Amino acid sequence: MKKKTVIVIGAGIGGITAAIHLARAGMKVTVLEKNARPGGRCNRFSRDGHQFDTGPSLFVMPLLYEAEFGALGASMHEQLDLLRVDPTYHLVFDDGSRLKLTSDMHSMREQVESIQPGSFRGLQAYLREGERHYHLGLDRLVNRNFRGFFDFFHPRNADLLFRLKPLVNHYRNMSAYFDAPRLKLAFTFQDVYMGLSPFEAPATYSMMPYSELAHGVYYPKGGMYRITESLVQLARGAGVEFLFDSPVERIEITSANARGVCLADGSRRDADTVLANADLPYVYRHLLPQDGLAASLSRKRFSCSVISFFWGVDRTVEALPPHTLFLADDYRGNFDSIIRDLSLPVNPSVYVHAPARLDPSMAPRGQDTLIAVVPVGHLNEHGKQDWDALRDEARRHVFRRLQTIGIGDLKPRIKFEASCTPPAWAKRFNLMKGSTHGLSHTLTQMGYLRPANRHPRYKNLFFVGASTHPGTGMPTAMVSGRLVAERIISEAG
């Protein structure tokens, strides 16, 4: 019997994961990737012995990763050499004071009580709420395919309105646990993982800081790109074919189905099923016939973007721990500048990653590899943004922030710099508006209300990735890949 054929557009984490599941189910799967290597935003480049991960730098929600590797018939611990990171972050506030987030509750008690006496009890209560949100959220929202309206809006889900607090603002919800603004900052900044402001994110996302403190934060030896390499190895072992430098120009459509794809070189490939792992709004805008759905998607809320700097440094910067986050006291003003004004805040928050603190192979001996990330607004389609000027300003803010912790001589020690601004993110990964996390995760763009993983008209055209259900993030991308594969397999049978 002839094998069902599947074309996957894009070799991101979700696309590769889906390809493995489909190949293991007996389908013939080909992955077409526009770039020279797999991974999508979870990518890597090297220069002069320095290794840079271009995307995520934190291995969070390890239990979810473990479950998803298990669903692929693999052991996460055999695939990845994971290093525990604790303290997870070193938070630095505007006046130079610090807070180290750690799973050591004795240390957390001392630190939070020094900021607000009596607040450790609030932290314990907040983590209990986060635990509830974590288990309910994964079980009832993340790990489910919502194929119809009543799969989501069902009486059995009514209790989620109270137990998950989706209608409650995350930052406002912190007032039930803390009075000190800096403690509210310390346990809501993780919303940026979803490209969201804590002032508009639902309180549901307390699951993130809970998981970090309860389950731990890790770092794969060899960098985050090891996850991509591991998945590609599993995919090839399952018989998946990869074709790189193969950009898709359009999806070939008949009246009711996708019949294959046309590549930029003019060649065509037919398939029984097409699965798009490219950014969903990009797919609707550029790869499909225009029918109003692309315009509808473009009106949805998009996540923020970032300006990233990648520096090779000629000496080790010992004063920098693995993950340092400089948080601005004007927290709301920061997010207003990013989300509302689509710009760079006057005093932006800054994240600096020093991977060689965890894995010395990420930099030459006696030298350092540094990555600095500054959240900014996404591309403004109706106005001009001078990204060269904004990049230069962001760089100055990074150096200024580093000076507050005694690192004032970094600039002359930088051997080379690479950077990535929202236009670069848009060009390299076909991200609409340069939004690094795809569509935002607001209340009206969660669960069933998030774009579905199958086209409403073309029944053999499916989607996987950040802008589809369940959403952005690397472990969530693996969930997305499994869910869409399950749907394709069930509907093919």
pLDDT for res 101: 97
Mean pLDDT to the nearest integer, 311-324: 97
Q: pLDDT-derived band of residue 367, with 50, 70 and 90 as boundaries?
A: very high
pLDDT for res 159: 75
Q: 298 vs 317, which has greater pLDDT?
A: 317
- The four Cα atoms 179, 185, 190, 192 give a dihedral, to 10 degrees, of 130
Q: pLDDT-derived band of residue 160, with 50, 70 and 90 as boundaries?
A: confident
What mean pLDDT, rounded, does the chain reach?
93
Is 285's pLDDT higher than 70? yes
Q: Express each pLDDT in 122-152 by its tens digit.
A: 999 999 999 999 999 898 778 787 766 656 6
Q: Express each pLDDT in 82-134 by its tens digit.
A: 999 999 999 999 999 999 999 999 999 999 999 999 999 999 999 999 999 99
Is 255's pLDDT higher than 90? no
Question: 10 Å Cβ neighbour count for 423?
Answer: 14
Is 274's pLDDT higher than 80? yes
Q: Express each pLDDT in 38-63 by its tens digit.
A: 999 999 999 999 999 999 999 999 99
Q: Express each pLDDT in 475-484 by its tens digit.
A: 999 999 999 9
pLDDT for res 26: 96
